[in-house]
Structure 1
């Protein structure tokens, strides 16, 4: 009598596996909104290398033009998650009913975010009453305010001109802007000629400009395993880039429309990538991410871009891969 029971148990187990496979196959793809930024490219590298499928998760990367576009896509429910800075996380909480939660720190800007000005503007003090291009509701305002603070200046001391990143280069060339806050790949083209130069970079405010991957709380509750699969695929893409940097940089640089050499320089000099072993240093029980959120919230409240003073602890999820 034991043999039939064993066979019956095996049949049930096989049926369970088939049912699980069918459920995974029909589960909708996780939609992640991204914008051009070298630190986010490893999500795309994971897709190009087939790592999401390897970890059993379907992912749809929504390629948008700017940080603001990614945030708005998330706020409107068009994306389950998005990549952005701490500014976008705080803004998404304030301006929507969604509950953003940080699950991964991708990198921190170490010179990648820049304030670029025309050659005629020698220093930050020369920006007084000048036209400065910023992307509204994004890191741009934070970086500009931190730069102006070093000279005892305020945002009200300059003329803010709101526009998306793609428009800033042409606007500078057309003499419609005197300066702009930008980042790669857009900054690469703006600095190619001798007519522009850098006044301030994120290297001067180390570890303040964090880039993160965020999901809505409801998505985390319903699809925690799928999100862990995304984190594992992302980590494997980073490992691939360490083992085969030339191939990885070529693949990612082509998407950013810059040379592989320039991409390699950016990820080595202008940003600091955070690997899977370093994630714990940002999430609880460490308070590094918490302190960065509190500092960012304080700056945005001072500038008038954020009203909420709600505790930021709830924004940190920290799913273990």
Structure 2
């Protein structure tokens, strides 16, 4: 299978030197329009697709990002591996602003988002016990280290609804009681949908602040976040630029089964499946339907 790397993140991440045959493409999906056009191209012989999660100009809030349309659009392009890059707050002193954390677990506290491609007439249950592909996570770690970024392997990401930041009480709860490491607003349901679409998924959390728990940093300061984001974006571009050589032009079946997540997931009997749902999910689940 040919490798195609999909990158979901901020618009500034896509100014990658050496991206050949760059073209912004417009896609429609059965789940509405994606956040924006998708930039496609080739880097070091590997096909790439870049999707601005919030749209160019930041027009979507974390709640209104069309997550299902975004994942469907990447799947329809042939994306095999998704790298999610997002700004996050830190609950750990050692995970300082400017550091990257390769996330390996999530706690989903979002409440206002469609979280599955499946539903009435075509029911499926996939496992997200291990929501991140560790093969892909290891490649992100290696790329970060080669870029000179201070990177931490492993961490639990608390996905909050937003758009407001945490109260002090919430921040202490997530850090001290739940044991979370970073907090953000966008990786859920993105990771769950990638698993349903049988696309390998890895999450790179770019630390911008200490949320509100830190006694010497106080509440989140937007000006500080914006300043840190600039440096983080440069490092993220360097990380992404190294991934094609690490992942290669072709790939074998995922050793962790991420690309076979639907093997035993569909529960609705074939004769009871809604034909409209089957048609709607032909791109996502056609392999098993």
Decide which structure has the larger Cα Rg and report it: 1
Give the TM-score taking structure 1 as reference length: 0.29
Give the TM-score taking structure 2 as reference length: 0.31
**Which structure features the higher share of helix residues?**
1
**Which structure features the higher share of strand residues?**
2
